[in-house]
Amino acid sequence: MIQVKNLSFSYTKQPFISDMSFSVSSGEIFGFLGPSGAGKSTLQKVLIGMLTTYQGSAIVNGVECRERTKNFYENIGVDFEFSTMYEKLTAKENLRFFSSLYEKKSRPIEQLLEKAGLEHDADKRVSDYSKGMKARLNFIKALLHDPLLLCLDEPTSGLDPTNSRVMKDMILEEKAKGKTILLTTHNMQDAAELCDRVAFIVGGKICALDSPHKLIMSKGATTVTYTWMENEEHSASCPLDCLSADEQLKRLIAENRLQSIHSSEPTLNDIFMDLTGRTLL
């Protein structure tokens, strides 16, 4: 669905995105993960044909992005980072208007509103919507023309846990339909839960690209920490894949003297910090 080769882009004389190469297969959820200002939104804007003065190649659904025509957008749905609705219109009026911009027949608007839990607020002006409602409305706007590729810029950013869950379920539902999804986020839990593969982006460069699972495994085995009493409390740690060689642990198990035992997997954020020396925030 997407092939990017030696892509570079700059807003000023300084390179902003430099020499990126990657590809995204159909049906994949591909995440751009990185701190604020890393270039995630800029990269998405190149891939949706908004920024065309780039070097190298960015081919989306068979079209070189700088050569896109109106037709390019029949198969791309974009959920921008900020609401793009007309505040004075109702949700339904907005959706009707935006669906009229496509040649393709719209997905049924009532059904989309229901999916987003907005069926009872469909005739409210968007200016009266809460942040979570706006986020859900923006998302279903991207689905109106049933595009093959969805580009979602920070879809869960700033949402409460309930709204965030609804949003993630809607994203997974589109994946189940075979859509390709590009997702930018600085939320590592969301990335780990949703993405088939993630690219870590720092300073306009990709510094790692793999499945969240493989990235996490690259740090080495999960550690097990256990505690026991012997006059006072003691604790010790051992890699999960070496437990059978830990004589002390075996003895404590045999004597039923363990007080606690925990395993701790590294998180995507740990890996990000290891690779980049930075946190995601």
Ligand X SMILES: Nc1ncnc2c1ncn2[C@@H]1O[C@H](COP(=O)(O)OP(=O)(O)O)[C@@H](O)[C@H]1O
Residues in touch with ligand X (CB under 6 A): 11-12, 34, 36-42
Within 13 Å and on the Cβ side, how many CA atoms surround 99?
19
Tell me which stretch binds Mg ion (CB under 5 A): 34-42, 97-105, 126-134, 211-219. Answer: 34-42
In angstroms, give the least distance from the CB of 10 to ligand X. 9
Q: Binding-site residue total for Mg ion (CB under 5 A)?
A: 2
**Cα(164)–Cα(168) distance, integer angstroms:** 6
Q: If binding is defined by CB under 5 A, does position 157 make contact with Mg ion?
A: no
Determine the Cα–Cα distance for residues 160 and 144; give it in Å rounded to an integer: 25
Q: Are 180 and 24 within 8 A, CB to CB? A: yes
For 212, the token pair is 């969240």
**Cβ atoms of residues 41 and 185 within 8 Å:** no
Among 3, 8, 10, 41, binds Mg ion (CB under 5 A): 41
Residue among 32 and 98 whose Cβ is closer to ligand X: 32
8 Å CB contact between 33 and 272? yes
- Are 168 and 193 within 8 A, CB to CB? yes
Cβ at position 51, least distance to ligand X in Å: 9
Distance of closest approach, residue 228 Cβ to Mg ion, in angstroms: 48
Partner whose binding site includes residue 266, from Mg ion, ligand X, none (CB under 5 to 8 Å by kind): none
Task: Choose from Mg ion, ligand X, none: what does 132 bind? Cβ within 5-8 Å by kind.
Answer: none
**Min. distance of Cβ 9 from Mg ion in angstroms?**
14
